[in-house]
């Protein structure tokens, strides 16, 4: 039985919502799943000890520490402490290096970029030789998706540009893109006139722009907006992902796939 632990430090509302989504899916799939909530003021040492306990636990195949962590904790130290064979997020430097090298070396691809690649490929969008422009250079999305689509492999082999906050003429770069992946965290950054007609637009932005009362539950929920002006952009793009409901569910799906892979690997099946 695949085993997954998700560790949440503090109670950042976005992180609580992401971790709950991951746990609900793991339960639906009948995984052995644990939600480990730790207080905001946990020491780095204590968090390292907790990770070490899960590293040794044979029922746990995947360990996920939800990011961001509080400022007093060194994120690099924490990610380094996770056993690379249980690193279903693909954030350990060994797994980052394996992805960079490519081929069978890459054991766990980070979940959001892996999900983006599946969305593009399974929608029938040609990737080989395509002009891909990634807006954003984070370790969670921008850098890994650029690396994935750059590999000489099926569903990849693209010409990739990474644009960021210092990029001159961002609009000009975006207009060249056959596949435009936006992970900047700036609501409505990409204007409809920046999109090449027929392009595939992947919006990774999840920006909380306010609150509303849910019609279903009567509870307060966040109003989410992407990095792309969806209503206008959908008239120009050939393919486009909504926010919410586009990339987010794929992140969870790929986490489950990585956990199954980890469990099989631990059982010597693959």
Which three-class secondary structure state does DSSP give residue 49? helix
> Measuring CA to CA, which residue among 92, 61, 59 is closest to residue 77?
92
> Binding to ligand GUN by residue 184, rule CB under 6 A?
no
Q: Is residue 113 within 8 Å of 119, Cβ to Cβ?
A: no
Q: Is residue 143 within 8 Å of 95, Cβ to Cβ?
A: no
Q: Give the Cα separation of 176 and 197 in Å (integer).
A: 10
Which of 66, 241, 258, 259 contacts ligand GUN by CB under 6 A?
A: 66
Q: Which residue out of 23, 85, 86, 89 is catalytically annotated?
A: 89
**Measured CA distances, 192 to 82, 196, 230, 232 (Å):** 42, 9, 8, 6
> Binding to ligand GUN by residue 140, rule CB under 6 A?
yes
> Binding to ligand GUN by residue 241, rule CB under 6 A?
no
DSSP 84: G
The verdict on whether 89 is a catalytic residue reads yes
> Binding to ligand GUN by residue 23, rule CB under 6 A?
no
Measured from the CB atom, the residue of 12 and 265 that comes closer to ligand GUN is: 12
Least gap, CB of 78 to ligand GUN (angstroms): 10
Measured from the CB atom, the residue of 133 and 206 that comes closer to ligand GUN is: 206
Least gap, CB of 90 to ligand GUN (angstroms): 9
> Binding to ligand GUN by residue 221, rule CB under 6 A?
no
Give residue 136's region: left, alpha or beta (phi > 0; psi -120 to 50): left
> Binding to ligand GUN by residue 85, rule CB under 6 A?
no
> Binding to ligand GUN by residue 251, rule CB under 6 A?
yes
Parallel/antiparallel/unpaired status of strands 207-213 and 220-225: antiparallel
Length of the chain: 270
Which of 26, 47, 64, 162 contacts ligand GUN by CB under 6 A?
A: 64
Measured from the CB atom, the residue of 200 and 250 that comes closer to ligand GUN is: 250
CA trace torsion 191, 179, 210, 67 (10° rounding): -140
Which three-class secondary structure state does DSSP give residue 161? strand
59-67, 184-192, 215-223, 256-264 -> range binding ligand GUN (CB under 6 A):
59-67
Which three-class secondary structure state does DSSP give residue 215? coil
The size of the interface with ligand GUN (CB under 6 A), counted in residues, is 9
Give residue 155's region: left, alpha or beta (phi > 0; psi -120 to 50): left
Q: Give the Cα separation of 248 and 241 in Å (integer).
A: 10
The verdict on whether 22 is a catalytic residue reads yes
47-55, 62-70, 232-240, 257-265 -> range binding ligand GUN (CB under 6 A):
62-70
The verdict on whether 85 is a catalytic residue reads no
40-48, 63-71, 150-158, 259-267 -> range binding ligand GUN (CB under 6 A):
63-71
Q: Give residue for tokens 């586009």.
A: 246
33-41, 61-69, 186-194, 256-264 -> range binding ligand GUN (CB under 6 A):
61-69
Question: Where does this chain bind ligand GUN (CB under 6 A)?
Answer: 64-67, 89, 111-112, 140, 251
Which active-site residues does the annotation give?
22, 66, 89
């Amino acid at each position: 039985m695949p085993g997954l632990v998700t560790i949440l430090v503090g109670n950042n509302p976005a992180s609580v919502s992401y971790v709950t989504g991951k746990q609900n899916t793991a339960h639906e799939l009948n995984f052995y799943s644990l939600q480990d909530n730790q207080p905001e003021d946990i020491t780095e040492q204590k968090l390292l000890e907790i990770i070490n306990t899960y590293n040794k636990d044979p029922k746990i195949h995947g360990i996920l520490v939800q990011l961001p962590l509080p400022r007093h904790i060194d994120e690099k130290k924490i990610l380094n402490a996770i056993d690379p064979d249980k690193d279903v997020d693909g954030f350990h430097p060994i797994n980052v290096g394996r992805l960079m090298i490519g081929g069978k070396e890459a054991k766990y691809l980070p979940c959001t970029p892996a999900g983006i690649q599946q969305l593009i490929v399974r929608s029938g969008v040609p990737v080989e030789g395509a002009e891909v422009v990634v807006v954003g250079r984070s370790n969670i999305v921008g850098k890994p998706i650029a690396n994935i689509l750059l590999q000489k492999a099926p569903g990849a082999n693209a010409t990739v540009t990474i644009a960021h906050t210092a990029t001159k003429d961002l609009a000009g770069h975006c207009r060249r893109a056959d596949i435009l992946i936006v992970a900047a965290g700036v609501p409505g950054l990409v204007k409809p006139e920046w999109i090449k007609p027929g392009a595939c637009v992947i919006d990774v932005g999840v920006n909380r722009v306010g609150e509303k009362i849910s019609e279903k539950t009567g509870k307060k929920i966040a109003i989410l907006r992407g990095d792309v002006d969806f209503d206008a952009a959908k008239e120009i793009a050939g393919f486009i992902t909504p926010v919410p409901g586009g990339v987010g569910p794929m992140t969870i799906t790929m986490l489950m796939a990585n956990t199954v892979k980890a469990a099989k690997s631990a059982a010597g099946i693959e």
